[in-house]
């Protein structure tokens, strides 16, 4: 027996709507606002996106370098293992990974090349 569509189960609510009329999503909410400094040396300018491993922010270093900061929230071991293995890779088709840093709350962040678009 299927669960009824409800506010408590939004996936089911989407299933109940006609094709092409899924839930309307508002603006993304990010944990860190513009101007915050979760890592020493970096200031967040805006949230860029969120995915399976965490949130990504556009930020600048104190020296003015544009970077992307990825806050790792899920699957920490898997993500950090992959990042560690790729830190020294260089190729025109790969985003450059600069560093893995930890904030005051021991939250892992990946500092990487910012690619617009």
State the DSSP string of 23-70: PPP-----SS-TT--SSTTEEEEEEEEE-SSEEEEEEEETT--EEEEE
pLDDT higher for 11 or 70? 70
More confident residue, 104 or 15: 104
- Averaged pLDDT, 53-57: 91
Choices 3.40.710.10, 3.40.50.920, 3.30.200.20, 3.90.1010.10: CATH for 32-113: 3.30.200.20
The average confidence (pLDDT) of the chain is 81
Span 19-49, pLDDT tens digits: 445 445 667 789 999 999 999 999 999 999 9
**Is 110's pLDDT higher than 60?**
yes
pLDDT for position 58: 98
Q: Where is pLDDT greater, at 61 or 9?
A: 61
Q: What is the mean pLDDT of residues 46-57?
A: 91
Mean pLDDT across 50-60: 91
């Amino acid at each position: 027996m299927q669960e009824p569509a409800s506010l408590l189960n939004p996936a089911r609510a989407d299933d109940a709507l006609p094709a092409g009329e899924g839930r309307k999503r508002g603006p993304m909410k990010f944990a860190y606002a513009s101007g915050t400094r979760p890592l020493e040396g970096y200031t967040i300018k805006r949230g860029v996106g969120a995915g399976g491993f965490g949130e990504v922010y556009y930020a600048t270093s104190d020296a003015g370098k544009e970077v992307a900061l990825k806050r790792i929230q899920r699957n920490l071991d898997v993500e950090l293992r992959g990042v560690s293995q790729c830190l020294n890779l260089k190729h025109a088709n790969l985003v450059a990974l600069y560093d893995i840093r930890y904030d005051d709350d021991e939250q892992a962040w990946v500092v990487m090349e910012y690619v617009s678009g």
